[in-house]
Amino acid sequence: MKRTCTSLMLAGSMLAGGQAMAGDLLQWQNNSLTYLYGKDFQVNPRIQQTVTFEHADGWKYGDNFFFIDKIFYNGKEDAFAGKNTHYGELSPRLSFNKIFDQKFELGPIKDVLLAMTYEFGEDDTESYLIGPGFDLAIPGFDYFQLNFYNRHTEGDRPGDNIWQVTPVWSYTIPVGDSDVLIDGFMDWVVDNDVNSKGEYHANLHFNPQVKYDLGKALNLGAKQLYVGVEYDYWKNKYGIEDSQGFKTDQSVTSFLVKVHF
C-alpha cells in the first residue's frame, strides 16, 4: 500500500512539475511567503518563529498544494531537532470531473477526487496519506474541501493505517474598503494505534488564519499583502496523550504577515 501511495503521489507531483513546460495544462497558480511569531507552544520550545513557503495550483486533471515551514526556536534547543527544524507537505489531488470530463455532483458535492499527501520533516516524520476527496459548494465560502485519508507511516512508528479527516476552507468578509480573509484547515485523526514502538493517540489539529487585506486597503493590489493572526489548537499534539506530567494540548495565537506573488 505504501509503495502504491508513494507512486501515485510522485506521479501527481511529476505531472504538476511538467506544467511549466506545458502551459495549456496549467489553469492557475499562487505562491506566498508567510512570517509567523507565536508563544506558548507545547512539546517543542514554547516560542517559535516560522517562515512558510506555499504553492497552490489547478491544472487539467486536478490540483496541487505544497508548503514547507522553516521553524526557529528563538535560541532554545528542541530535544530532537536542535535550534531550528523544517516540516512540509505535498498534496496532489486528481479530479474525477476533469479526468472523465463528466460532472460528479450530488447536492453540495461538486467534484470527487483522489486525494494524497506526503508529510516530511526531521526525526523520522515521513507519512503517506491517500483517500477520497470532495469539493463542496457551501454558500458564502470561496471554497470548501473535505478529504478523507488513510495514514501510513514510514518504518515501525505507531500511527499506521489509521484514518484522518481534513476539511480545508476559505471565507471572505468585506470590511470597509478592503476584506478580511478567514481560511485554514483541520486535521482530525480519529483512531488510536499501539505497537512495539509505542502509542499514537487520536488527535485534532485546528489551524485557521484571520487576515486583513492590507494591500487592497493601501491600493497596492488586492490579495497580495495580508496581516493578521493564526490560531493553532492541537489536542494530543503529535498523537501524544495530554497528561498532568506532560502537557500536549496546544493553544497558540501567532502574529502573521503574508505576501502573495
> Taking a C-beta distance cutoff of 8 angstroms, is the pair 199, 241 a contact?
yes
pLDDT tens, residue by residue, 26-79: 999 999 999 999 999 999 999 999 999 999 999 999 999 999 999 999 989 888
**Residue 13 pLDDT more than 60?**
no
* Cell 496581516, located at residue: 227
Which comes out higher in pLDDT, residue 227 or 104? 227
Residue 155 — pLDDT band, cuts 50, 70, 90? confident
**Residue 126 pLDDT more than 70?**
yes
- Grid cell, residue 21, equals 513546460
Interval 109-127 mean pLDDT: 93
> Taking a C-beta distance cutoff of 8 angstroms, is the pair 166, 141 a contact?
no
86 strand-pairing partners: 70
**Residue 234 pLDDT more than 70?**
yes
Interval 143-169 mean pLDDT: 93
What is the structure's pLDDT at 196?
67
Share of the chain above pLDDT 90, in %: 82
Residue 122 — pLDDT band, cuts 50, 70, 90? confident
- Identity of residue 217: A
> What pairing do the DSSP bridges indicate for beta strands 62-72 and 162-175?
unpaired
pLDDT tens, residue by residue, 170-197: 999 999 999 999 999 999 999 999 886 7
**Residue 8 pLDDT more than 50?**
no
- Grid cell, residue 157, equals 512508528
> Taking a C-beta distance cutoff of 8 angstroms, is the pair 157, 132 a contact?
no
CB atoms within 10 A of CB 100: 10
Q: Which domains does the chain have, with CATH numbers?
A: 2-260 (2.40.230.20)
**Residue 5 pLDDT more than 70?**
no
